[in-house]
Amino acid sequence: MKILVIMVFVGAVLAGLSFWGVNRWLAHKSGNTVKTPKRRTDRQRLGIRYAEDGLFLIGNGAWTGVILPGNSDDFTSGTQQEFAFDRSTDFYKQLLMWVEAEQGRDASLICHELVRYQPVDTSRWEDELDRAMWDPSKMFQTLTAKKMAPHISETTPEPRRVLMIRLGTFTGPSMSDPITMIIGKADHVAEEHFRSSDLDPFRDAASTLLDRLSASGAELVTRADLVWLTRKPLYGHFQPPTERDYQSTRPWRAGYFDQIVDFDAHNLTDCVEITEPFPETAEARKSYTTTLVIADGDSVLPFHYHRAWGRALRAMPFQVEVSWRYKLMTSEAWKKLAKRRIGLIKDEAEDRGGAGKIEDAKFSEVLGDALDLERELDIEPTPAMIGQLRLTISCPSRKELTKAVQDVQAAFTDFTLHVPLNIQHALLREQIPGDPDPTYVGKVNLCDDTLGYDLGTRWTNLEALALARLDSSPSVGDAVEVGRSGQALGWRGVAIGYCMENGAVVHFDPHVQVARNNGAGIGIIGASGGGKSALALMLFFWMSESGTQVVAADPKNDIERFCYYISFGPQVLDPDFASHARAGTLGTPESKFQPINRDFWDQTDIVDLFGGPRGMLCAWALTDTYEDGEALARAQLELLIPDRADRDRLEPGFHAMKEHYRSAESSGESYVPTLTELSQSLYEEIETLSEAAGKDNPDWSSRLPAKHELSRLQGLKSRLEGASVNPYSRLLFGEADRSVGFRSIKKRRTVITLFRFTPPDPAKTPEQWSDAERDAAAAIFTALHRINNFFGDVTESVSPHSKRRGRRPRALFIDEAYIVTSIQAGRELISRALRQGRSLNFVVVFISQQAKDIQMIEKAMTDAAETDQNQFSTVFVFMQKGTAEAKQALSLLREPSDANEGEWDALAKRLLPYSKGGDLGNGVCVMRDVDNRVSVVQVDQMFVEISNASETNATISAHAQSTPISADAMDWSIDPAARDHVRSGVSTKAIAVADVDDHSYEFDDFAELLSN
């Protein structure tokens, strides 16, 4: 149990102003500089004098900033919640370690921590996505930019936790160029230029700090971020634009100014009335904003996960934003400061004693606390902080605001919050990042330690920052990681759904995890009907259209049918469609079925392992040399013919084929060996043995062994002839053309259908398999062998889109994974893919009904000492059938050793369907992302066309796929139901609050009667 000790409480009251509302401006970095006289104060300008990504001069302060990642605490035990608290505390200790290394043991650091709700910045997301994609199709580019981006821009604003850090005081000179002074004269704005020698020390400090914090997932605050953070508190409940609309407001010279906000507001008694910036209608709407501060609180607070006020604010039906200015002090700095103050209290006690004053109970308590603190400081001094916490609420009306304030005050059980009167404008202004402007309140009212207004100031130990759990967030999905070299690793992929708790967008691209040096596996598990196929098919579509080469093992024909509908639309319902598909004529002049989406179909290969042509998997057709072909053929025969002695009978056949191959090669002829020739090579030996075993042979001693050998040889011949016509194994026999078939995997999508494939019984050993099981195993082994070679290709190429050189991203989808893992070759392929995926830039999407299939693979890899890292970096768990399966699935999400039995049972129950008391329904899953964040997610296929193509329910799929599909992506339709179901906090319209004096009731059918 963690204990927070409140050390000192200081309060102050400020006088407020009645109105402020002028244009505010931000200066951009400039070039050459020389020393000039002191800068002229300009009250119509924000204090931001200079801004580049990662370094800002605000007033006289040099600041940097980072965007901090959230930490999911869903599906966690009490012990894991304690660990999260410790990690949060350690982050602030890392800050102090940095400043101590920079300034010495007696060091301190001024910070400004903000929590702001921001809509999805689609322009930044589109830029990230465009840079990351290898070869996006026209359809991909249109759907993401023209359809998906506008759709997700209207989702729930996401909380962004930003930490601004004051690097020091800037004392360097500046100058204004004459042109800027002339142009800026009308609005009293003059542009400043600074010397590189003055800026570089702060740039270096910012870079060093970012290197340290990047290990925690922190991202650099950019110029665009600073603009948005400046606008946000001044917009009330309206959302400021995230677009970079300020970049062209002034001519581009050595530098330029940007208009950041046109702010118009009135300071009311208990709030600020803000006029809607840039209204869309003639009558601008109003927003009402109030800021609360701490009035009082307990001196000792235990850490309790469910009482963490950051989590409590997150649960509010309205946005509560946080502004927390504080100064962190090393243990040495705190000890010196506290000792000085303790000395003053002790001096006063001596004075009181000498003067014979009557004992004061309150002063005696203060003296006792001071002496206790002194003893603690002598034994083990700890870091400390002084801070000013502000909570801000904005609503469309004052009545709603009053109710919201009451709700927030009620939610805080450890603190008393109050609304300071007549100074709300000053508290709002204080929330703008950087050094606050003392113009309106006077420097005397600013706190020297935090630079904020000296109101609600509290001294505490460092755990106060972690106590709030402001890092707690339900958000999951892709994130960008900044390496120590400053290089960004990863990007945010397409939107695949929303967090159920707050409606935040979930971005996911499977290749982000390998780009961030994590395992290559993505696990999707769940019972039938839960929605796992819908998620897998959506990922299959987006990945292949982005330029990733995707190979899919498709045992249920779901992926095949998906591709057919996207390509041919309702034609898939024609009774003749299946026969044309089996014949391989779809889209050719010989077929009446022509694709609607020609580009999609031309980049799709369907490999039918059940109805494909004989010889499609011929060993020599799939390889480049005779030796490679023979090696593959021998491996095929090991599965088809388990007896080594029988396989040895085929050696003369291999020898004959090799001689024929060499002869054809030397004469320039084309010759592709086949397994069929091996059975033919047995004819001569069978004929010889037939004579030896016949009645005409008078030698009984040789006749009986000959009969026995003849029987074995005829059985071998019969087995080979049977395999050459049996389902699956017949693909290994017969003539094959190296120019077609499964040899080349070059298109965006290759779907290997395993329809009606029955894997070997896992309870049997290979020696116990039936011939049918051997035939199927040999065919799937050959397909996996080809896939293995495909993924093992280390050839680099140039991206047609970005022109960067590297390995093209590739992916393997394995549906009903037990089918592939039932044979050794399948298990070896998956292990190799997981082990080498990061270096070869490919991923494995593993789809199964049970968690134990993933656990079996990871255990086998661990036992083989191949890896000690979790290779399934991302897991999606859909609803489980029963408690036992749910407990297995839960172990893929969280570490079970940290939970007691009761906690584990309660968490596992949440993975059951709604009907069994769980949290999951169709299309709802629990996601564990690459950063080990866990959250309940509503999957959203978004596009009606993708949803129709993904429909696997036989009773409704025909209706869904009778809907026409367009070749023009601009004609595709978005279904907003999933987004709107979970969306919150996006309304910008005032909600009318009932007036108690309004008696204009509606009487419906009685209206006419009453009027008479």
Q: What is the DSSP secondary-structure string of 940-964?
A: ---BHHHHHHH---HHHHHHHTTS-
Question: Is the pLDDT reported for residue 271 higher than 90?
Answer: yes
Single-letter amino acid, residue 562? F
Say how far apart CA 350 and CA 367 lie, in whole Å.
11
Closest CA to 952 of 943, 963, 961: 961
Least confident of 119-123, 293-297, 833-837: 293-297
The pairing of beta strand 842-848 with beta strand 521-525: parallel
Q: In angstroms, how far is CA 554 from the centroid of its own chain? A: 27
Cα 485 to Cα 165, 169, 210, 481, 488: the distances in Å are 21, 27, 10, 11, 9
DSSP annotation of 875: E
Q: What is the arithmetic mean of pLDDT over 776-786?
A: 85
Cβ pair 490, 515 in contact under 8 A: yes
User: Is 611 a residue whose pLDDT tops 80?
Assistant: no
Token pair belonging to 757: 């494939």
| C-alpha to C-alpha distance for 440 and 434, rounded to whole angstroms | 16
What pLDDT, on the 0 to 100 scale, is given for residue 297? 58
The pLDDT of residue 481 is: 82
Instruction: Assess contact for 294 and 416: CB atoms under 8 A.
Output: yes
Among 442-451, 871-880, 921-930, name the one with the lowest average pLDDT.
Answer: 442-451
- Residue 962 pLDDT > 90: yes
Tell me, what's the pLDDT at 925?
96
Measured distance CA(384)–CA(635) in Å, rounded: 69
d(C-alpha 667, C-alpha 408), whole Å: 89
Burial code (b: 16+ CB inside 10 Å, e: under 16) for 598-620 equals eebbebbbbbbbbebbbbbbbbb
Identify which of 307-311, 604-608, 697-701, 786-790 has the greatest average pLDDT.
604-608
Say how many C-beta atoms besides its own lie within 10 A of residue 166's C-beta. 20
Q: Per-residue pLDDT for 846 more than 90?
A: yes
pLDDT of the residue at 31: 40
Beta-strand ranges (E) seen in 703-853 are 749-753, 797-798, 805-806, 810-814, 842-848
Give me the phi and psi of 607, to 5 degrees please: -105, 110
Task: Report how far residue 819's alpha carbon sits from residue 873's, in angstroms, rounded to the nearest whole number.
Answer: 22
- Whether 65 shows a pLDDT value over 50: the answer reads yes
Q: Who's near 385: CB < 8 A, 6+ residues apart?
A: 326, 327, 328, 329, 459, 460, 461, 462, 464, 465
Report d(CA 113, CA 325) in Å as an integer: 6
If one counts every other C-beta atom within 10 angstroms of the C-beta of residue 966, the result is 13
- Per residue in 348-391, pLDDT tens? 887 777 777 667 777 787 788 778 777 877 787 888 889 999 99
| pLDDT higher than threshold 50 for residue 927 | yes
Residue 990 confidence (pLDDT): 36
Q: With cut-offs at 50, 70 and 90, classify the pLDDT of residue 35.
A: very low
Q: How far is CA 22 from CA 265, 554, 658, in A?
A: 9, 63, 89
Distance of alpha carbon 942 from alpha carbon 154, whole angstroms: 13
CA distance 134 to 549: 10
User: What average pLDDT score do residues 145-153 get?
Assistant: 94
| Greater pLDDT, 40 or 88 | 88
CB 202 within 8 A of CB 168: yes
Its pTM stands at: 0.84
Choose the weakest-confidence range: 44-53, 861-870, 877-886, 924-933: 861-870
Q: How far apart are CA 216 and CA 198, in angstroms?
A: 30
Report the pLDDT value the prediction gives residue 985, as an integer from 0 to 100.
52
Cα–Cα distance measured from residue 87 to residue 69, given in angstroms and rounded to the nearest whole number = 12
The structure tokens listed for 280 are 């869309």
DSSP state of 439: G
Q: pLDDT category, 867, cuts 50, 70, 90?
A: low
Backbone angles phi, psi at 211, to 5 degrees: -60, -40
Q: Is residue 767 very low, low, confident or very high in pLDDT (cuts 50, 70, 90)?
A: confident
Closest CA to 983 of 154, 19, 315, 134: 154
Query: Directed axis angle between helix 700-723 and helix 682-693, to 10°?
Result: 150
| Across 208-217, 547-556, 563-572, least confident range | 208-217
Residue among 855, 846, 845, 919 nearest 891 (CA) = 855
* Rounded Cα gap, residues 110 and 105, in angstroms: 16
Q: For residue 2, is pLDDT > 50?
A: no
Question: What are the structure tokens assigned to 464, written together?
Answer: 């106060």
What pLDDT score does 9 carry? 29
Q: Chain centroid to CA 606: how far?
A: 31
Query: What is the structure's pLDDT at 984?
Result: 63
Q: Tell me: the pLDDT tens digits for 434-492?
A: 998 777 666 668 888 899 988 888 888 888 888 888 888 888 999 888 766 667 889 99
Tokens for 898?
Answer: 């940290």
- Give the range among 298-302, 441-445, 960-964 with minimum mean pLDDT: 298-302
Nearest to 154 by CA among 495, 492, 480: 495
User: Would the pLDDT of 707 be above 70?
Assistant: yes
Q: What is the mean pLDDT of residues 313-335?
A: 89
DSSP 742: T
* Mean pLDDT score of the chain: 82
pLDDT of 397 strictly over 80: yes
Most confident of 331-340, 439-448, 560-569, 656-665: 560-569
User: Is the pLDDT confidence value at 399 over 60?
Assistant: yes
pLDDT at residue 740 is higher than 80: no
988 burial (CB, 10 Å; 0-12 / 13-18 / 19+) is middle
pLDDT band of 811, cuts 50, 70, 90: very high
Q: Find all residues with CB under 8 Å of 661, minimum gap 6, and list them.
A: 626, 671, 673
Strand order in the sheet with 934-939: 505-507, 495-499, 934-939, 924-928, 872-877, 521-525, 842-848, 810-814, 549-554, 749-753, 604-608
